[in-house]
Structure 1
Amino acid sequence: MRFDGMFAIAGREFRSLFASPLAWALLAVTQFLLAWRFLQLVDEFQLYLEPLLVQVNSPLGVTDLVVARFLGDPTLLMLLLLVLGVLAMRLITEERRSGTLQLLFSSPITATEIVLGKYLGALGFVAVLLSLWVLMPLSLMLGTSLDLARLAAAAVGLGLMAAALLAAATYISCLTVQPGVAAVGTFGIGLLFMLFHYGAGATADNSAVFEYLSSLSHYDNLLTGSVQSSSLAYFALLIIGFLAFAVRRLDALRVQS
């Protein structure tokens, strides 16, 4: 299979995102809010936690009490879901609303190339966004030492979770022509995968099932620096599964047209 069409679509999607004020607004607003939260955690560590750690001679440090808390903070996770919901409004939904999807169907481009191109273009934007987020804890190296291996594992975990939820957003974007429905659906399914984490503690009989289905459980493993093959397989299955569903949906839409 030739992938010229996929790369062309990915490049167009990436450029069009940065050509719109919405993308810059997302970058600015999320960066401002998370910078505020990050500085709160740093101040809390310097004023209260660090003196206490010295008194009790605790092995915990800034990586545990600032970096891990920041990257696992509910504010960060909710902002990630918000960004993915906004991206879902564009992807395939916008192509269907504007009628340009029919032009893509009439070209010698497969549904797989369309889905992967749209996904990779949006993933490029998400990578820029997450890089800005990760730079905040990395900036602590200017004044203290960090466990870089653990930070790298946490960054990989955040990237994998974002990539998996973006794949879900791509599929949901194929299901509707209403941007609001695509955004709400993406936010809902992303929140559902996170809430499975709490279902594991509520039901003892199926706790192992809920624990594996929860994206937070696997992300928490990577936050602690534990890179497990089961967590990597989990995110890979989500990405491949949702993208495969999106390809099948586009094939069905092509037949209907």
Structure 2
Amino acid sequence: MIVNIARKELKSLFASPMGWIILALLMFGFGFLYLDGVNKYFEVMSGSIRPAERQGITIFVGQNVYGAANFLMTVAIPILTMRLISEERRSQTLPFLFSAPISLTEIVVGKFLGMVIFLGILVLYIFIMLSSMNIWADIDFGYLIGNSFGLILLIGSFCALGIYFSSLTSQPIIAAISTFIALFAMVIFGNFTASDPGHWFGHISMSKHFQSFTRGVIDTSDVIYFILFIVTFITLTIRRLDSDRLTG
């Protein structure tokens, strides 16, 4: 049943002009960053830089693309997730959803997976785009795999938070703004405390936990952080909907 709900969400996203517009804009943005990174690489590396200071093209171009993913997803995901549940509440179809022969867990997880699979297209697009450099240069596939895995976890965390805020209100715009503010705070404040590794906010900052992936390193503690973040907000969403179901 989870698969059917995820498939339904994917169909609705591809049937929506908003889904196509956001997907196209993000692809254009990542493609521009890729081409800009390649051009800058040849400009910098063909200059008077010393051999010891030269940098591999995978890291040079990859950090240009993956480094911007954090911000771009912070803007795009609140717009995509804002209608997942709030639209059901606004159109008063939530009681019909509760009466369906499926559990709330299946509903929430299905919607979550549908959104993650949809945005996973972008991760695959970035990986293929950067892998194409292997035609004319030796690239580090381990770096690309680490960044892609981290980006999937980041997207999953953003979507889980977006679904939760979507379950709190009947106004999609309010859900989008609330999600954006929460994500922006977790990203920005994490950067502000980067100079103090022991600061408590650094331990809950998604940008800090994403940094190891941007270096191509898969750290178990960071993976656990993102998984716990996703599970926490999916659970909170289920409990919120269960409360609505019980109160009628």
TM range (shorter): over 0.9
- TM-superposed deviation, 1:154: 0.7
Write the distance in 1 (CA, Å) between the matches of 2:132 and 2:23: 18
Q: How does 1:19-58 map to 2 (within 5 A)?
A: 19-53=15-49, 55-58=50-53
The alignment status of 1:84 with 2:83, answered yes or no, reads no
The alignment status of 1:226 with 2:222, answered yes or no, reads no
Could you tell me whether the CA contact under 8 Å between 1:127 and 1:159 is conserved in 2?
Answer: yes
Write the distance in 2 (CA, Å) between the matches of 1:52 and 1:70: 25
Write the distance in 2 (CA, Å) between the matches of 1:184 and 1:64: 34
* Percent identity of equivalent pairs: 33
- What secondary structure, in the 3-state scheme, does the structure 1 residue paired with 2:47 have? helix
**CA deviations over 1:57-94 (Å, ceiling 9, x no partner):** 33521122111232112xx3222122211122221111
Q: Which residue of 2 aligns with 1:64?
A: 59
**CA deviations over 1:209-253 (Å, ceiling 9, x no partner):** 222211111111011122111101110110000000000000011
- TM-superposed deviation, 1:207: 3.0
- TM-superposed deviation, 1:193: 1.7
Moved more, 105-114 or 147-156: 105-114
User: Which structure's residues are more often helix, by fraction?
Assistant: 1
- TM-superposed deviation, 1:48: 1.9
Q: Which residue of 1 aligns with 2:94?
A: 101
Aligned residues: 248
Pair 1:148–1:180, CA change in 2 (3 A): same
> What letter corresponds to residue 23 of structure 1 in structure 2?
G
Could you tell me whether the CA contact under 8 Å between 1:199 and 1:210 is conserved in 2?
Answer: no
Q: Structure 1: which 5+ residue stretches go unaligned?
A: none
Q: Which residue of 1 aligns with 2:168?
A: 175
Write the distance in 2 (CA, Å) between the matches of 1:119 and 1:131: 18
- TM-superposed deviation, 1:103: 0.9
- TM-superposed deviation, 1:106: 1.2
Deviating 4+ runs (over 6 angstroms): none
- TM-superposed deviation, 1:200: 2.1
Could you tell me whether the CA contact under 8 Å between 2:5 and 2:111 is conserved in 1?
Answer: yes
**CA deviations over 1:109-158 (Å, ceiling 9, x no partner):** 22111111111111111111222233322221122111101110011011
Write the distance in 1 (CA, Å) between the matches of 2:93 and 2:136: 51
The alignment status of 1:244 with 2:230, answered yes or no, reads no
Write the distance in 2 (CA, Å) between the matches of 1:63 and 1:50: 16
- TM-superposed deviation, 1:56: 3.2
**CA deviations over 1:157-205 (Å, ceiling 9, x no partner):** 1111111111101111100111111111111111122123224246x5x
Could you tell me whether the CA contact under 8 Å between 2:161 and 2:233 is conserved in 1?
Answer: yes
Write the distance in 2 (CA, Å) between the matches of 1:253 and 1:110: 14
Q: Which residue of 1 aligns with 2:198?
A: 207
Write the distance in 1 (CA, Å) between the matches of 2:117 and 2:181: 23
Moved more, 25-34 or 160-169: 25-34
Q: Structure 2: which 5+ residue stretches go unaligned?
A: none
